[in-house]
Every structure is written in structure tokens, then in C-alpha cells.
A and B are shown apart, each in its own frame.
Chain A
Amino acid sequence: MTPTHPHNDDKLAKRVFDRITEEHLIPRPRWEFVFKNYFFWGLGVVAVAIGAIAFSAIIFEVQNADWQYAFVTHSDLFSFFLDAAPFLWVAVLALFVGIGYLNVRKTNHGYRYPLSIIALGAVLTSLALGSALYEKGFGSMVEEFAGNSLPFHRSIMTEQHSWWLAPAKGLLGGTVVASASDVSSFELRDFSDAVWHVDASDLRTPDLRTVARGGMVRIVGVPTTATSSFHACFVLPWETYGAGRGGPTPLPLALIASTSDRSHLVPRSDACKQTRPYAQLRELDDQDAL
């Protein structure tokens, strides 16, 4: 505060004008205020846009978190939730919705809107925009970028790969690269680029259909050697949602016709009955068979 004295004996108007004259004050130009107003609106919009990107990543993570296989990859739902929940993106969304709110509050009439209205508007805009971005494959890009750039964040794809690169636990994921003509076995390249010889004798029609589709699959089974051969009990599809890419290329084999005798109702060998959630995996098989 820089008041001008003396008091009382001097009229306030005179003292105000004295100070205006002494400090050579003039009204700040209008464009400064207009610019400031648009600036805060702009920051608000940018914050909501970042919130939308975060939301597209949340959808991507949730869609690709393998909830349906949680009982296979994790011992309990809580540990699965800790691994799969999109904590980072929820925090980013909340942070930027908050920043958006604070910036809108600083605009000319921002204070007139209740917190609930601004926050709801920012959240709904983020959700709508985020859903559209997800459809365009943005969620996948952002998640991949964050996974590669942030040391404290593992992308959901990297998480999945680590869950399914555990042959000792009976879990193997990767890409089908070749298959025997009688479908008794096939070759699979895992996420560390190692190639496995997979015994498919215990597989049933739904599993073989999945193999026939080609591309990436997940296998539940029993390792027969530590690093190169695997006895498959179940083959589950591996679909990446919201990645904005085409589906897998089918193998050039007429597998389905030659495997029609392998009904999913026929019990598997004793080796497969040792796989952890055998009963639940059978249920998944039954669903696929329908």
C-alpha cells in the first residue's frame, strides 16, 4: 500500500488525483483485459483437452486390462486391480479438470458458475472428447508414449506382456508364426522374441479357431522345457481394443475343417487339469464354442 498523506484535511478525490498525477497513471488498455479473459478461457479449454486425452487413455487401459482373464493371471482381484487400474490417468484427468475449473473461475463471469456446474461441464466435455479420441486410437498412442517416457508408468500393454510371459506359471502370450498341417503343434513367438514349439494336442475346437485366426494369442498350459516347448491346454484370443489398427492376419491354413472332431466337451489330458483355474477356463471355452 502506498497511501498519500496528509489525511482528513485533504479531500479523498484530491489525494487520489495527486497520486494519479505523481505516478503518471493511466487506465490500462482494454485489449489487456480482453486478452486476459481469452487467455484464461484458452487455458481452461487446453486443460479440458488434456483431460480428454487422459480419459481416452483410461478407456484404453480399462478396455485392454484383461478383466476377463484376471483369475488366470492374478491370484486375487485386488492385486489385479492394483496392476490394471489406470491410476495415472485418473489423476491426470482430475488434475486437469481442476485446472480447467480454476482458469474458468478467473474469466470475467467465471465466479458466477457454481463449482458443480463447471466441474460437471469439464468432466462431461472431457468424457465426450476423450471417447472420440479413443475411437481414433489416441488412447493407445498416449498410453504407449507415457509407458515409454515416464519411468514410473508401465503401459497396460507392457503389463499384459509381463503377465503372459510367465511360462513357469503356465502363461504364455505371443504371435502364432507357423502351424503343423495336422494342427498337432504350432510355433509361437513370445514377447521376448523367443520362439516356442507348442504342443496343440490337448486343444479343442474353440482354441484352434483362435489359433487359426492368427496374430496374437494367450496360452494357458504346462511348460515341457524351460525355454522352448510348451504344452497348450487353452488358447485364448488376444484382441487390442482402441488401437486404431486392423485385426490379425489369419494363418493360411484350413484349420477349422481338420479340427471339427475335437469337441470342446471332450476332457483334456491330466496334465491340463493341473492348470490353475481349469474349471473357469473350461467355461470360457464353452462361451467361445457358442
Chain B
Amino acid sequence: MPQTMTDEEIVRRTLLDKEVFSLLIERYEAKLMRYCERLGVGVLEDREDILQNAFVKAYKNLNSFDPTLTFSSWMYRITHNEVMNFFRFKRSRPQVILSEEGESLLTELRDEGSDTAAQSELRLSSEELAKAFAKLQPQYRDALILRFFEDRSYAEMSDILEVPVGTVSTLLYRAKREIRELLPELPLS
């Protein structure tokens, strides 16, 4: 059954029959669309263009897919690079829009905070969190999005961002420190 096939099996079959590739597109379209939005691509049409390019690129480079990493990480990497190219090409800044999804990040920040009692009362609107995100350095923002919004492991983040796992840890540590510094400036809701 096509639906039970692993991504890696679909990749192998696509090399024999390109139509099978549509399974991967359907499987990842929604996730990657959301990922593009989280990375700051605000316009739907732009996100669709980016994804279209990403899937075409993935198809052309299917033979370079490395089975030691997951297809998901590989596809996220291609999409991430396409988004970065998009911002470079457009010379525009990401429009950070975060919907009601920052809870895991806030929980992490609360747990790590020294004043747990006070922090537990902290409730931030997604708009306020987005404002703080917008002020973050891009590499910190990308790391936080992958870890807390896309739920990626350190190893997957390493494969997506193409940096060593140690660098992922450093990025996340610095990103959390920076966002913790930014959040107290924002009003509590």
C-alpha cells in the first residue's frame, strides 16, 4: 500500500516511476508550508513558489539523497535553503508570524528560569512572542523554530542546518538566552 511505504522506499520507487513522487509531496506539503510560514515567508503565493522549487530541486537531486539521514531532514534542508535564497533574492526580512504554538518554547524557558514561580504566571500572546522572535538573529530564530515549533531532534537539526550537533546546542543555548533577555520587555497579557 502506498500509504504504508516509508519515505525512503518512495524515493527508491520514484527513481523508477516519477509519479510516485506525488506521495512525498502530499506527505510533506502541509508541514513544509507551515515551516516556511514560521521562517517568515508571510505571503501564501511566495510559500507555494518556494515549495514548488524545493520539490523540483528534490526530484532533480533524488540520487543525492543520503539514506543515513531521514528524507524528512533532507526535505527540510532543501526547503530551508530555498527560503534563505528567497530572502536573499527579494532582499526582504522575514515577517515573523507565530500562531498559538509557542507553548513548548515558553515551557522550556519557564523551566530553565531561576524565578520559576514568577515565570509560571507569564502568559504571552503569540503576537508578543513573534515580536521577540523578529528581534532575534536569524540563525537563533531558525534553531528555535526547528526545535520548539517543528519538534526536531538535535541530530535532525544538524542535518537540516548542516552544522555539527555541538553547534546546534550552542545555537539553542544562545537563542534561549537572547529571547529570555527580550521577553521581559514585553507586557504580560
Contact = CB atoms under 8 A, between A and B. Distances in A.
Asked if chains A and B come from one complex, the reply is yes
B186 interface: no
Nearest to A15: B52
A7 B55 contact: no
A69 interface: no
B25 interface: yes
A20 B56 contact: yes
Contact of A114 (B15, B53, B167): B167
Contacts of B44: 7-8
Contact of B29 (A12, A112, A114): A12
B52 A12 contact: yes
Interface stretch (A25-33, A85-93, A138-146, A218-226): A25-33
B165 interface: yes
A33 B26 CA distance: 27
Interface in A2-55: 2-4, 7-8, 12-13, 15-17, 19-20, 25-30, 32-33
Main secondary structure of the interface of A (DSSP, over half): loop
Contacts of B62: 27
Q: How large is the interface on B (under 10, 10 to 19, 20 to 34, 35 or more residues)?
A: 35 or more
Nearest to A17: B22
Interface string B154-188: 00001000111111000000000000000000000
A109 B45 CA distance: 34
A13 B26 contact: yes
Given A108-B66, A112-B164, A112-B165, A20 B52 contact: no
B51 interface: yes
A27 B49 contact: no
Interface residues of A, number: 27
A19 B60 contact: no
Contacts of A19: 52, 56
Contacts of B55: 12, 16
Given A12-B52, A27-B60, A111-B158, A20 B18 contact: yes
A1 B50 CA distance: 8
A19 B66 CA distance: 25
Contacts of B45: 7
A33 to B, nearest CB: 4
Interface in A94-109: 108-109
A108 B68 CA distance: 10
A106 to B, nearest CB: 10
Interface in A101-146: 108-109, 111-114
Contacts of A33: 61, 63-64
A8 B62 CA distance: 26
A35 B36 CA distance: 32
Contacts of A29: 63
B149 interface: no
A232 B50 CA distance: 82
Contacts of A109: 66, 68
Contact of A16 (B59, B64, B89): B59
Given A28-B64, A112-B164, A13 B22 contact: yes
A102 to B, nearest CB: 13
B42 to A, nearest CB: 15
B48 interface: yes
A16 B15 CA distance: 16
B148 interface: no
A114 B166 contact: yes
B71 interface: no
10 contacts: A2-B53, A3-B52, A16-B25, A16-B52, A17-B21, A20-B59, A25-B59, A27-B60, A30-B64, A109-B66
Interface of A: 1-4, 7-8, 12-13, 15-17, 19-20, 25-30, 32-33, 108-109, 111-114
Given A12-B48, A16-B52, 12 more contacts: A1-B85, A3-B49, A4-B52, A12-B55, A13-B29, A16-B59, A17-B18, A27-B15, A28-B63, A111-B158, A111-B164, A112-B164
